[in-house]
Amino acid sequence: MDPITGIIVGLAVLASLGAGFGAGRATAPGDAEELAEVRGLVEAQGAAIERVAEAASRPVVIDAEIRETLAETPPQCRSGQDPAGLACAWATCLQYGQSSAQRPECRAVEAAYLASMRVEAP
C-alpha cells in the first residue's frame, strides 16, 4: 500500500469514528433535556448580565447640598466627631492650607493634636 493512500485511509477511519461518536452523543437519551436546561441557565445568566450592565450605566446622582457639604467639611468634623476637637481643627487647617494662597501655619495645631494622642507607657 502506498504511504499516501495509507494516510488517507487512516484519516477517513478517524473521521468516521469521530462522526460516529458525535452522532451517538447527539442521539443519547436525556441529552435534549440537559441541553434545554443549560440553555435556560445561559439565557437567565445573560438577562442578569444585561440588568447589571444597565444599572452600571446609570449615572450616580448626589444631591447638590450633600456634594457641597462633603467638599467643605473634613471627615474629622462630620457627625459622630467632635467639631471643636483637635482632629477637626487640624484637618480644617490642612484643608485651607491646600486651597488658599495665604497658607495658614498648622504646626501648632499639629503638635497639640499629636500630644493629645500620645499615650504614656505604664
108 pLDDT above the threshold of 60 = yes
Contacts of 74 (CB under 8 A, 6+ apart): 88, 91, 92, 94, 95
Helix H or strand E encompassing 29? none
pLDDT digits 0-9 by tens, 50-106? 888 888 888 877 777 777 666 777 778 877 777 788 888 888 888 777 655 666 778
Q: What is the total residue count of the chain?
A: 122
Residue 47 has what pLDDT? 87
111 pLDDT above the threshold of 60 = yes
pLDDT digits 0-9 by tens, 14-46? 777 777 777 666 666 666 777 788 888 888 888
Angle at the Cα of 102 from the Cα atoms of 101 and 105, rounded to 5 degrees: 125
Residue type at 119 in one-letter notation:
V
pLDDT band at 120 (very low <50, low <70, confident <90, very high): low
Angstrom distance (rounded) from CA 96 to CA 94? 6
Cell of 79: 457627625
Residue 99 has what pLDDT? 56
Contacts of 31 (CB under 8 A, 6+ apart): 25
Pinpoint the alpha helices (H) of the chain: 3-26, 31-57, 64-72, 86-99, 107-117
